[in-house]
Each structure stands twice: as structure tokens, then as C-alpha cells.
A = this chain, B = another copy of it.
Amino acid sequence: MPITETEPRRNFLAAIRPPGGSETWSLGEQIASQLADMIVKGEYKPGARVHEVAVSSRFQVSRGPVREALRLLEKEGLITILPRRGAVVTKLSIDEVRDVFAIRSVLFGLAASRVAELQDPQVLRELKQGVARVNKLAKTKNVDLDEYVGAVQELSFVFSAGSGSSHLSNMVYSLFRQTLRYSRLGLSSRERRLTSAANWSRLLDTVLAGDVVQAEILGRKQISDSGAEAMRRLREAEEEKP
């Protein structure tokens, strides 16, 4: 299978690639992008091995670009490279999931406070749209979970990008994707989606009011709540089949 063309704007690398470089995508980047999507969507399951030759024959390129792609994915936290032993799709233990949500929580709190401080009109506009969309989807019965999670993801990225710090934005982005499958788990019930959406609204109000301190508190709470819910589901699933 040759590499399929992907829209650069919707590519996960578009967000993290430093400005000033070439606009074309290297083979390694293209492969990384497609593998990343597969991993995030769950086509590669955690713990699964990723062989260099398998990937290179799948995309019909040599191992060079594949190795680069794997390094990029390791940077994103999506795979783990064991020296001399190959790459595996990153598998987070329950403790690690808790830790990553805790990190996401404080970083997102920081981002929210910065957004509240900056009061960028464009960002605030996108925030309103995002919150409206999430609330609408939360109320929709039998909503497509992927669509809802996608809307939440977009909203999160508006917050982090709106913080004005590319470092912060990239970290939030990366950590979000690392825990995407667990976020999905936490948003699987409609009831939880409704309360979550309501909290997004509260956070938006606080940001619009320019309350920097409260924005940080609510931002942190939004992610830590999400993490707590994910952990609950995770433990349930764990008890069923250990």
C-alpha cells in the first residue's frame, strides 16, 4: 500500500512542526501521520509491536523514513521504542493514566488562565462556537461518540492554542492524544456528557468574565473530572477481565 495523500492542515504534525521550514512533508512525516491516526483510532492496540520492515513494506518505502516516523511517534508518546528490541504501541498502566491526566489537568488549567488573561477576540469567538457545538452534541440522543469526542478535542485545542504559548499548546495536544482512548471511555455515557458540557459552559463564562484565577481552577477541574471518570470505567473494565 502506497502512502495516501493527506491534507497537511489536518495532519497531526502541522501543529507541532516549527515554522520556517519546508512546506512539503517528508516520507517519515507522512508515515508518522498515518500511523498516528491508526494508533489513536485503535487500529493498532496498545502493546502491539511495530516492526520496521512490516511498516516499510506496507508503505512501500525503505526503513530509513520508517525509523524517522517511529522516532516522531515516540516523541508524541504514541509508541515506545525499546533499544535493540523494537517499537511497541505505548501501553499506559492505570497509574500512568492517572498521572497523565493529572499533568493534563495542571497544564490545561494554565492554558485556561492564559486565555482568560489574553482576551483575544478571535479566540473567544471560536471558544463560544466550540462550547455551543459540544453542548448541542451532548443533548443529542444517540450521538456518534467519535463526533462528540472530536468536538471536545477541537475545543481543547482552541483553549491550548489560545494560550499564546506554542510549548504549552504542543504539550496539551500531545497529552490529549496519548489519553484519547481513555477520554472516550469517560464520555461513553450521555449523562456524563451532559455534565461535562455544562462544565465547559461554566468555564467559558469564567473566561469571558476575565477571571484568571477561577479559569485555572475550572480548567483543571474539567480535565481531572474527565480523568476520574475514565479511571472509574477503566477499573470496571479491569475487574471484569483481569
Contact = CB atoms under 8 A, between A and B. Distances in A.
Interface of A: 17-18, 20-22, 24-26, 29, 64, 67-68, 71-72, 74-75, 80-85, 95-96, 99-100, 102-103, 106-107, 109-110, 164-168, 171
Contacts of A102: 110, 165, 168
Given A71-B68, A83-B17, A99 B165 contact: yes
Contacts of A21: 81-85
A103 B96 contact: no
B67 A26 contact: no
Nearest to A67: B68
Given A99-B164, A99-B167, 8 more contacts: A17-B83, A22-B84, A26-B84, A68-B71, A75-B75, A96-B166, A99-B168, A102-B110
B26 A103 contact: no
Contacts of A164: 99
Contacts of A99: 164-168
A107 B83 CA distance: 28
A166 B110 CA distance: 21
A140 to B, nearest CB: 35
B26 A83 contact: yes
Nearest to A76: B75
Contact residues of A: prevailing secondary structure: helix
Nearest to A171: B103
Given A68-B67, A106-B106, A106-B110, A167 B100 contact: yes
17 contacts: A17-B83, A18-B80, A18-B81, A18-B82, A21-B83, A21-B84, A22-B83, A22-B84, A24-B84, A26-B83, A74-B75, A96-B166, A99-B164, A99-B165, A99-B166, A106-B109, A171-B171
Contacts of A26: 83-84
Contacts of A109: 106
A96 B167 contact: yes
Contacts of A20: 82, 85
A147 to B, nearest CB: 29
A101 to B, nearest CB: 10
A106 B85 CA distance: 35
